[in-house]
Amino acid sequence: MKKMFILLGTIALFLMLSCNQQTQQNAVSLDTGWKFNTGDEPAWATLAFDDSKWDTIDPKKIWEEQGYKGYDGFAWYRLHVQIPSSLKENAFIKDSIQILLGKIDDCDQVFLNGELIGENGRTIFIKTEPSAEFIKEQGKWYIDRRYVLAANDPRIHWDQDNLIAIRSYDQRGAGGVFGKPFEISMTELKDHLKFDFSSAAFMFDGDSMITKKFTIQNLSGTEEFKGKLLINAVLGDNGINIYSECTGVDITPHLKLEKSVTFKHNISKPATLQVSFIESTSGKTITDVLEIPYILTPKVSMKPQINGAKVFGVRPWSPFQFKVAATGQPPLRYSASDLPEGLVINPENGIITGSLKKKGEYTIKLTVENRLGYAERDLKIIVGDIISLTPPMGWNSWNCWGLSVSDQKIRQSAEAMKSSGLIDHGWTYINIDDGWEDTHDKYGNILPNAKFPNMKALCGYVHSLGLKIGIYSSPGPKTCGGYEGSYTFEAKDAQNYANWGIDYLKYYWCSYENIAPKPTLEQMKDPYREMKHAIRKANRDIHYSLCQYGMGDVWTWGAEVDANSWRTTGDIEDTWESLSAIGFSQNPCSPYSAPGRWNDPDMLVVGWVGWGPALHYTRLTASEQYTHITLWSLLAAPLLIGCDLTQVDAFTLNLLTNDEVIAVNQDPLGKQAAQIKKTNDYEIWTRNLEDGSIAIGLFNKTDKPLYVPVSLKDLNISGKQAMRDLWTQTDLGKVSGHFEMKTQPHGARLIKISQ
Ligand code: GLA
């Protein structure tokens, strides 16, 4: 039997190798020979224009790195190239060519022999007059520029001189063409047939059955592909096949073939699903390898357990609301001893409400009971100036619903936060992002749009579930989504938010750049100071979250404008590139983090995301998601789930409900992790915790399993240390000196050591 497994593994390997062999043949490289000029002239698109006096440029690097530092605006790239008809003759699929031009920051129009063939990543199929509008489509810098033309497109001059001209426009920051690849090639099997694994999450049935649905789609309207579909599930540890299937398939033009596999597998073990299509006449193969999510968080105990924050900040006289997060078999009964006067606890749902008038500190003892026993824990209440003494945990509408957010979606999300049990692990905020605003009325009151018929009722409903609610605005006249901002209405807006019952404000710079186009440091602070005063006057504890992508090193002055958190980077996406670039670049801000003053590397891209209204399952692998939550916990980052809570899948729920991992994020000392070691392959970050122990994150940046070595000397630690794996919640015994731990590709381990 074992031999059979090994044989199947070998076949899969052979097929994968034969897949790799077919790429890169029959391509014309566009890596060199480019000419470059700043400015904007229509004649620069034409073949005849003489560019011999232009500068040469390397298309793989942005123009700032090639002598054009600080340049913003239009610039053109030109390249003469022969397109040989041998490309067509040698090709397996002869009907289309593709021109690959790396990435372009921000906007582009691409011309072939004077005719427009592409704009901001979209092929222009028919003769179209170029317009100036394309520069309005900002934020497309990360999209691969791939323009596909029919082989008989008259814009191509086969076997002759061709001119590719790129008209690019950059508004600020990095500009122009960069990345890879740069080539002309015929489209291949992989360009026509696409596996799509993102339309369904992996499903678990008990601890040992896995089901995965996926599709294979023929994008071509003319080609039919016949062949075999080979599916293997392979254990990460030893390469042993745990499932294998081979079926004949006929994929007619435009067909989307749906496939589902179910197999037996221990869901705590890392493994991969390898799917190949082998075309029968040519033997050409496309393969995708997918990590099977593995479950690390143990099942919650039926006995009572108190989770979430151990310290809570509130200002004198502000409405007080704190929900005791606790797990255990229902019904649970909640009580609190030594509650200061002014507060009461609801014994059925554990919500503490009221208000406290005097500054001071109180330690209360919480008790949660069920028929199996009881749990006790201290909660420290600090009545003072600073709120959000642990990073906010909750959900925000942007990464799933984008501008299509509505009252109904917010209510459903709040209900799901409760019914999924997330609330019992400390998840609290339900934040409405952009897309709720209408206009200011004649009295200066901000009116929600028709999607939000009654904001006060909505806030009341969310509070009644034991949750809190947030909102979004801009200090400029308009938000990024083009909705009404708060400019000149700050005081009124804050007052309205407070009246409705808002607990969190995300305040994004967008369109304030029209007020202060090249802001000085003081001008960067001005609008945030303005809203700070407005919030303070509103007499409600509103978590104040700055969002301006880290401009002016906001972490050095966020506290000065009374912000409770500030975004340190641009928007995150559900890719490893985005996640790792943002997550591993947070070390410089680390010293500025403190209780109530958090660095915010953006929201969590797990589960069903999509920026609305259409959603897809996160493109991050399970290991990458473990890295995401591990790193964000070490970074003391606000944890704002970005997915559709109404369809949270088993893996995501398991990922977000690990109380020992969350406890690192919520640690009352509030000290952000520092990067202790960084190599090309791995990083080690450590965070000192209130009880004197140290949380250590080990991160594998490679795409292979890796043993990450840790030297306790690098952490300034000597002697024997007790070690605990926080994801699996198991003790690992004592260590001293050195140790190493296996990490999955792009994955992480989170351990805690204490004496
Ligand atoms: C900015 C923020 C996003 C989101 C959008 C809404 O881009 O960074 O997180 O809030 O605004 O328009």
pLDDT in tens, 708-739: 999 999 988 999 999 999 999 999 999 999 99
Q: What fold characterizes domain 676-754?
A: Immunoglobulin-like (2.60.40)
- What average pLDDT does this structure show over 100-127? 96
Task: Return the amino acid letter for 294.
Answer: Y
Structure-derived torsion over alpha carbons of residues 262, 265, 269, 273, reported in degrees to the nearest 10 = -30
> Is-contact 503 543, C-beta < 8 A?
yes
Pocket lining: 611 vs ligand 1, CB cutoff 6 Å = no
The pLDDT score that the predictor gives to residue 390 is: 98
As a whole number of angstroms, the distance between CA 105 and CA 139 comes to 8
Judged against a pLDDT cut of 80, whether residue 14 lies above it is answered with no
pLDDT in tens, 311-324: 999 999 999 999 99
Residue with tokens 């992480």: 748
The reply to whether domains 305-383 and 676-754 share a CATH topology is yes
As a whole number of angstroms, the distance between CA 666 and CA 2 comes to 47
Judged against a pLDDT cut of 80, whether residue 3 lies above it is answered with no
Closest residue CA from atom 4 of ligand 1: 398
Hey, how many other C-beta atoms are within 10 angstroms of the C-beta on 180? 13
**Which phi and psi angles does 240 have, rounded to 5°?**
-80, 135
As a whole number of angstroms, the distance between CA 206 and CA 200 comes to 18
As a whole number of angstroms, the distance between CA 440 and CA 438 comes to 7
Q: Which residues pair with 336 in a beta bridge?
A: 366
Judged against a pLDDT cut of 60, whether residue 536 lies above it is answered with yes
Closest residue CA from atom 3 of ligand 1: 571
Pocket lining: 571 vs ligand 1, CB cutoff 6 Å = yes
Q: What fold characterizes domain 305-383?
A: Immunoglobulin-like (2.60.40)
Pocket lining: 483 vs ligand 1, CB cutoff 6 Å = no
Closest residue CA from atom 8 of ligand 1: 571
Per domain, the residue ranges of the chain are 31-187, 191-288, 305-383, 393-651, 676-754
The pLDDT score that the predictor gives to residue 5 is: 38
In this structure, of 160-164, 169-173, 717-721, the range with the lowest mean pLDDT score is: 169-173
Q: Which residues pair with 685 in a beta bridge?
A: 675, 697
pLDDT in tens, 282-293: 899 999 999 999
Hey, how many other C-beta atoms are within 10 angstroms of the C-beta on 88? 17
Closest residue CA from atom 6 of ligand 1: 434
Task: Return the amino acid letter for 25.
Answer: Q
Pocket lining: 479 vs ligand 1, CB cutoff 6 Å = yes
- What average pLDDT does this structure show over 74-95? 94
The pLDDT score that the predictor gives to residue 241 is: 96
Judged against a pLDDT cut of 70, whether residue 438 lies above it is answered with yes
pLDDT confidence of 385, banded at 50, 70, 90? very high
> Is-contact 147 98, C-beta < 8 A?
yes
Closest residue CA from atom 11 of ligand 1: 480
The pLDDT score that the predictor gives to residue 171 is: 86
pLDDT in tens, 354-381: 999 999 999 999 999 999 999 999 999 9
At residue 287, the 3 state secondary structure works out as strand
Judged against a pLDDT cut of 50, whether residue 452 lies above it is answered with yes
The pLDDT score that the predictor gives to residue 402 is: 94
Q: Which of 508, 573, 604, 609 to mutate to test the pocket of ligand 1 (most atoms within 8 A of CB)?
A: 508
Judged against a pLDDT cut of 50, whether residue 6 lies above it is answered with no
Give the residue among 330, 397, 404 at the shortest CA–CA distance from 368: 330
| Mean pLDDT over each residue of the chain, to the nearest integer | 94
Pocket lining: 572 vs ligand 1, CB cutoff 6 Å = no
Pocket lining: 398 vs ligand 1, CB cutoff 6 Å = yes
Alpha helices, DSSP H, located in 91-188? none
Determine if residue 254 is left, alpha or beta; phi over 0 gives left, psi from -120 to 50 gives alpha, anything else beta.
left
Residue with tokens 């069920």: 370
pLDDT confidence of 17, banded at 50, 70, 90? very low
**From the CA of 631, how far away is ligand 1's center (Å)?**
22
As a whole number of angstroms, the distance between CA 51 and CA 732 comes to 67
As a whole number of angstroms, the distance between CA 90 and CA 25 comes to 9
Instruction: Give how far Cα 375 sits from Cα of 291, 333, 378, 659, Å.
Output: 38, 11, 11, 15
- What average pLDDT does this structure show over 184-201? 93
Strands (E), 503-554: 504-508, 543-547
pLDDT confidence of 116, banded at 50, 70, 90? very high
pLDDT confidence of 11, banded at 50, 70, 90? very low
Judged against a pLDDT cut of 50, whether residue 145 lies above it is answered with yes
pLDDT in tens, 600-633: 999 999 999 999 888 999 999 999 999 999 999 9
In this structure, of 48-57, 141-150, 266-275, 553-562, the range with the lowest mean pLDDT score is: 141-150
Judged against a pLDDT cut of 50, whether residue 12 lies above it is answered with no
> Is-contact 506 493, C-beta < 8 A?
no
Superfamily of domain 191-288: Immunoglobulins (2.60.40.10)
Please tell me the number of Cα atoms within 13 Å of 515 on its side-chain side. Answer: 18
> Is-contact 633 661, C-beta < 8 A?
yes
The continuous run of DSSP H or E covering 623 comes out as helix 622-634
> Is-contact 84 16, C-beta < 8 A?
no
Query: Which ligand 1 atom is nearest residue 481's CA?
Result: 12
**From the CA of 552, how far away is ligand 1's center (Å)?**
18
pLDDT confidence of 691, banded at 50, 70, 90? very high
Give the residue among 491, 597, 495 at the shortest CA–CA distance from 543: 597
pLDDT in tens, 492-502: 999 999 999 99
**From the CA of 480, how far away is ligand 1's center (Å)?**
7
Percentage of the chain with pLDDT > 90? 90
Query: Which 8-state DSSP code applies to residue 173?
Result: S
Q: Domain 393-651: which CATH class?
A: alpha beta
Percentage of the chain with pLDDT > 70? 97
Pocket lining: 124 vs ligand 1, CB cutoff 6 Å = no
Please tell me the number of Cα atoms within 13 Å of 351 on its side-chain side. Answer: 15
Q: Which of 141, 399, 404, 433 to mutate to test the pocket of ligand 1 (most atoms within 8 A of CB)?
A: 433
**From the CA of 228, how far away is ligand 1's center (Å)?**
44
Q: 41-55 as b/e, with b when 16 or more CB fall inside 10 Å?
A: eeebbebebebeebe
**From the CA of 549, how far away is ligand 1's center (Å)?**
10
Judged against a pLDDT cut of 80, whether residue 23 lies above it is answered with no
Instruction: Identify whether 106 is preceded by a cis peptide bond (ω within 30 of 0).
Output: yes
**From the CA of 422, how far away is ligand 1's center (Å)?**
24
Of the options 1.20.1270.360, 1.10.287.310, 3.30.70.990, 2.60.120.260, the CATH number for the domain spanning 31-187: 2.60.120.260
Pocket lining: 481 vs ligand 1, CB cutoff 6 Å = yes
Kindly report each contact of residues 355-359 with a partner whose C-beta sits within 8 Å and lies 24 or more positions away, as own/partner. 355/317, 355/318, 355/319, 355/320, 356/314, 356/316, 356/317, 356/320, 356/381, 356/383, 357/316, 357/317, 358/316, 358/383, 359/316, 359/383, 359/384
As a whole number of angstroms, the distance between CA 147 and CA 132 comes to 19
Instruction: Give how far Cα 225 sits from Cα of 250, 305, 337, Å.
Output: 6, 56, 71
As a whole number of angstroms, the distance between CA 351 and CA 325 comes to 9
Among 89-93, 199-203, 428-432, top mean pLDDT goes to: 428-432
Angle (CA) 105 107 110, round 5°: 110
Q: Which of 395, 431, 434 to mutate to test the pocket of ligand 1 (most atoms within 8 A of CB)?
A: 434
Judged against a pLDDT cut of 90, whether residue 423 lies above it is answered with yes
Q: Which of 478, 547, 640 to mutate to test the pocket of ligand 1 (most atoms within 8 A of CB)?
A: 547
Pocket lining: 573 vs ligand 1, CB cutoff 6 Å = no
The pLDDT score that the predictor gives to residue 384 is: 98
> Is-contact 568 638, C-beta < 8 A?
no
In this structure, of 128-142, 350-364, 430-444, 566-580, the range with the lowest mean pLDDT score is: 128-142
**From the CA of 467, how far away is ligand 1's center (Å)?**
23
pLDDT in tens, 212-247: 999 999 998 888 999 999 999 999 878 899 999 999
- What average pLDDT does this structure show over 461-481? 97
Query: Which 8-state DSSP code applies to residue 478?
Result: B
- What average pLDDT does this structure show over 296-316? 98
Strands (E), 443-521: 446-448, 468-473, 504-508
